[in-house]
Structures are given as structure tokens and as C-alpha cells.
Amino acid sequence: MFNARITMPAEAKAGEIVEIRVLTRHPMDRGGQSDGKGGTVPRKILNRLTATYAGDQIFRFDMHTGVASNPFVSFTTRAVATGDIVFEWREDGGATYTRTSRLTVT
Amino acid sequence: MALLALPAAAQVKSGSEFLSPGMARQQADETRNPGFFWVEQGEGLFSARPPQGQACIVCHAEPRQSLRGAATRYPQVDAASGKLLNLEGRIEQCRVERQTQPAFGHESAELLAMTAYIASLSRGLPMDVATDGAAKPFYEAGKAFFERRQGQLNLSCQQCHDGLVGQKLRGDTISHGAGTGYPAYRLEWNSVGSLHRRLRACSLGVRATQFDFGSPEYLALELYLAGRAKDLPVETPAIRR
């Protein structure tokens, strides 16, 4: 089950540094346990989170099995123009999840 | 025994007071406390219309007001059946009898989410369960359980949760076992779990019988703990190690 809570200001002045906090709901299953049928459960974690803003990738977080379930991360960026910040998570197996937050620059 | 002579209920503190400063900050910060995912899921379920029957919100309009404080009064004796119900039990009763849907089931993501949501509506309000009248025999049974030595380690709940409060045990700091933050997000579980799940961990810890989720034994114990915790604020969803 995927979900995310993104916390950041809705507005900022041009040039201002904004803090973005991202809490994600995900089991981050590192796999390897027995599946009860002689095999093992495959790894299923979110392996990457990226954030894109005003056409640029402003953040990238590569995650490994050492990252606990429901990971939290925070980072900062500089407000440049009104627009969407697009968050994209990539999961093992190819699924992706996206969330969008609007930043209005005054 | 010196341990057992210590004063009890008078100074029971929340488990949150025994958290490291970092975890206490994480608990208080909605942007970082994963327990709020379950609260949010519960809020969604509360308004969701089941295949047949009514959404919870149809009968419980304005839950922020109408169900505010409800969690502070659980466990309580159900007037109709005479049974002791905790909040999970009351939710399941509504789910089955009034919403005419199959029970969510103990420890299911849905029941945890719904319980966390409804308990969160009482955040900050003081615990206030009835321990007299119809509740008295349950309360007394819970108290007797709490004080009885059990398991291969032959320890009572009281020896740890009154006698050894503040001491370290495998990296934990022993609290009064108030249970006012449940369902809680436990790092060891990587998830939200119920108070009964925590009680099962304590029973296992002393190598005693683990009772079932929702068993009469744990319900009585839950009532006793809630009575001891009188006036402590509800803190669901708490974070625990």
C-alpha cells in the first residue's frame, strides 16, 4: 500500500529556500523470506524518489534494502517560478507512483 | 518485596515520557509520524459507502464533534450484551450489526486504521473509563491479572510496570504501561498495531500464555490499564520502539 505526505509551503518569495518533507507509506519489503512454497519472497522496495521542479530534477534519493519501512526524507530547494513540484517513486518491478505539489512564487 | 510496595496509580505517566527526545519529536510531528497514514486511511473508510449498508458517516455525522471523546470511555460494558468492549469491539459491532458488513478482523489494516482514526479524534482529551458499576468485576479481574506472577520468568505486569519503571530492558525504558497511544506505530513492527498486540509481546517476554486479540483476559487488562491511566491524554497514534 503506497501513500505519501508531502509537507511544504504553498507560497514562497522568489529566491527563498523552501524545505520539503516527504513521508512515504511503503513496507519496503527486503524479500528473502520463505514464501511457504519452497521459494523466497522477492524484494519489493521503493528504489528511487525523484523530485522535478521548473523542468529540472531538484532531488534524487536512491534507496536500498537498509532503508526502513515508511521512509522519511527532507530536502530544500530555491523558489524560482510558480509551478508544480512533481515527486516520483520507482518501485521494484517497475511500478511508479507520483504526487504533485504546487508552489506559488511571489 | 520492595518492588511491590511502591505506590502505583497515583503517578502513572504516559509511555511518551519515556521516549528518546528524537522519537518524541517524531511522534509530535504529523509530517513525520507514519501513524497518521493509518488515521488518514481510517478517515477515508469512515466515509466510504460499503456495497450494501450505510457509510459510518451517515449515522455518525460530524465525527470530529460527535465522536470526540468517545475513545476516552473505552473499554466499557455494552449495555445490551453485558460484554466488555474496547474501541475495536465497538467498531466491529457497528460494522456487523449496523453496517451489515463482514467484520474487519483483528489486526487487519482496516480495523487498525478505523480505530486509530476514531481514537485520534480524542487526542489530548483525558482518559475517563468507568471502573465501577457493571465495569467493576472486569476491572477487578484486570487488576488481579496485572498483579499475578506468570510465565517461566514468574513476573507480574506490576513488577515491571510499577516496580521497575525507568529501568532499561533490552534497550527499552520500562514505562507504566499506560497504553494511551494505541493503536501505535512501533518501529519493531514497521507498522501500526493494537494494544493487544503489545500485550502479547509482554506475555511472550515473560514466556507466559499469549491470549488472543480481543480475548476476555486482555480486555479486562485493558480496562485496568485505562483506569490506572485516568486523566492522561489520548495520544493515538503514538510512536514506540
Alpha carbon of B107: minimum distance to chain A alpha carbons (Å): 16
- Residue B8 predicted with pLDDT over 90: no
In a domain, B3, yes or no: no
In a domain, B2, yes or no: no
Where are chain A's structural domains?
Answer: 3-30+44-105
DSSP string computed for B56-99: HHHHS-SHHHHTTTGGGG-SEE-TTT--EE-HHHHHHHIIIIIS
Range of the domain at B111: 15-241
Confidence of residue B10 (pLDDT cuts 50, 70, 90): low
Joined grid coordinates for residue B137: 468485576
Per-residue model confidence as pLDDT tens digits over A44-96: 999 999 999 988 999 999 999 999 999 999 999 999 999 999 999 999 999 99
- Distance in angstroms (rounded) separating the CA atoms of residues B24 and B35: 13
Q: A49, A56, A50: which is closest to A83 by C-alpha?
A: A56
Cα–Cα separations (whole angstroms), residue B237 to A37, B81, B110: 36, 30, 15
Neighbours of A72 (CB within 10 A): 16
Per-residue model confidence as pLDDT tens digits over B82-123: 999 999 999 999 999 999 999 999 999 999 999 999 999 999
- Rg (Cα) of chain A, in Å, rounded? 16
In a domain, B204, yes or no: yes
Q: A64, A63, A92, A58: which is closest to A78 by C-alpha?
A: A58
Confidence of residue B11 (pLDDT cuts 50, 70, 90): confident
Position with higher pLDDT, B161 vs A55: B161
In a domain, B8, yes or no: no
What confidence score (pLDDT) does residue B4 get? Answer: 47
Q: What is the ipTM of this complex?
A: 0.86
> Residues A76, A20: contact at Cβ < 8 Å?
yes
For the four alpha carbons of A53, A58, A64 and A69, in that order, the dihedral sign comes to negative
Cβ contact (<8 Å) for A25 and B109?
A: no
Alpha carbon of B36: minimum distance to chain A alpha carbons (Å): 9
Q: What is the CATH number of the domain that holds B172?
A: 1.10.760.10
Quick check: B187 contacting A, CB < 8 Å? yes
Q: Structural domain tally of chain B?
A: 1
Please confirm, yes or no, whether B94 is among the known catalytic residues: no
- Distance in angstroms (rounded) separating the CA atoms of residues A46 and A44: 7
Quick check: B40 contacting A, CB < 8 Å? yes
Which CATH number is associated with domain A3-30+44-105? 2.60.40.10
Cβ contact (<8 Å) for A5 and B37?
A: yes
- Distance in angstroms (rounded) separating the CA atoms of residues B162 and B13: 11
Joined grid coordinates for residue A4: 505519501
